[in-house]
Amino acid sequence: MTTEALTKQAGAMSTKIADTIMRQCGEDGYHPYPLERWAYVPGMLLMSMSRAGAQLGDERYFEFMRLHMDHYIAEDGTIATYSLEEYNLDQINQGKNLFPLLARGGETRYAKAADTLATQLIGQPRTSEGGFWHKKIYPFQMWLDGLYMASPFLAEYAKVTGSPELTDEVAHQLLLVERRTRDPRTGLLYHGWDEAREQEWADSVTGLSKNFWSRAMGWYAMAVVDCLDHIPVAHPKRGTIIGIFERMCHALVRVQDPASGLWYQVLDQGDRKGNYLEASGSIMFVYAMAKALRLGYLSGGFRDAMLKGWQGIQERLVTEDADGVHLHRICNGAGLSKDRNGTFDYYISEAIVSDHYMGIGPLLLCALEVERYLAQA
């Protein structure tokens, strides 16, 4: 497929995805999914629609985000269904939507809500090296997922409030988790690390989980490029962050499926029975690479891998019908706990679903980012 054809497809695809989401709203304008609770996947869906509004020039998409955020943010800035004392990094992600609201001359309640979420992170339980626990109920554990949930929020909050010490915190979190989870042989990052080495899924010597889960690395890849939007060019750790990102992308390209351009659920074991090409991780990698190429964080040598991944997403994972765009082969969810032991068999046992917003949100973000890259290429 030519670059020109991809450019046209990308623009059409982002609009189609956003319009598909809009068609799922009731007559009152509310979509049932973001109304369920304040949480990271609804938050990502709202963020993708807000970005679509800004990039595509359609105010309906931004108002979709505003309507659902206002469902949660009270006049005094309290957040419905949120509890600071949970110290749960997942609960930060939806707060990223507060910044575009504030940029529009937003109300005081949005600033108060952002302050509350930042307060959680300032007091977040930590490892001995200062790494955020993923949740209070997961003591001394760092998961790659958490870097996406919290770090871009904190980086933008630091910029908006003029708090350079919080920018330093963001850099520390990104670098620490990479150093603790990276496998020197493959360059891939393990899903989680238990400093206490107490969990059943953790290696008794290293504290690492057993496998390289696609979406976990996808979360981290997106976290890096989104944080870099807000880390000043002169920050002493910025170059190191960009460097470890490029090193990681080399590792990802080495395990990219050459036939489809996609990535497997367990990244380095594509030839194993039961493993499959998974949508959400593949989409997150393409998003991160496209954004990094556009902003100059990656060399042009990654262009072919990114475009092959985007083409594979459209040809092998996406279908369209009268109801709009559909996405298939999404891992419904995975984690690390007593019952989720991080083995290969565990990761391939999780349900594979279609049209989950865990995949649809990143798909819209990815389409928008590929479109921006191709428009300037």
pLDDT of 7? 54
Type of residue at 350: E
| Phi, then psi, of 330 in degrees rounded to 5 | -100, 130
Which residue in this structure is represented by tokens 């496209």?
Answer: 290
pTM above 0.95, yes or no: yes
Strand partners, 213: 266
pLDDT of 336? 97
Please count the structural domains in the chain: 1
pLDDT of 107? 84
CATH number of the domain at 104, please: 1.50.10.10
Which residue in this structure is represented by tokens 């869906």?
Answer: 45
- The Cα–Cα gap between 316 and 8 comes to 18
For 150, other C-beta atoms within 10 Å of its C-beta total 30
pLDDT of 260? 98
Positive or negative: CA dihedral 51, 57, 59, 60: negative
Strand partners, 79: 73
Catalytic positions:
145
pLDDT tens for each residue of the chain, 377 residues long: 555 565 555 568 999 999 999 999 999 999 999 999 999 999 999 999 999 999 999 999 999 999 999 999 999 999 999 999 999 999 999 999 999 999 998 789 999 999 999 999 999 999 999 999 999 999 999 999 999 999 999 999 999 999 999 999 999 999 999 999 999 999 999 999 999 999 999 999 999 999 999 999 999 999 999 999 999 999 999 999 999 999 999 999 999 999 999 999 999 999 999 999 999 999 999 999 999 999 999 999 999 999 999 999 999 999 999 999 999 999 999 999 988 999 999 999 999 999 999 999 999 999 999 999 999 98
CB-side exposure of 315: number of CA atoms within 13 Å?
Answer: 12
Phi-psi region of 288 (alpha: psi -120 to 50; beta: other; left: phi over 0): alpha
CB 127 within 8 A of CB 180: no
**Contacts (Cβ under 8 Å, ≥6 apart) of 271:** none
Positive or negative: CA dihedral 164, 194, 184, 296: negative
Which residue in this structure is represented by tokens 């979190």?
Answer: 173
Task: Residue 284: give the domain boundaries.
Answer: 3-376
CB 106 within 8 A of CB 57: no
Which residue in this structure is represented by tokens 């389409």?
Answer: 367
pLDDT of 8? 54
Type of residue at 323: D
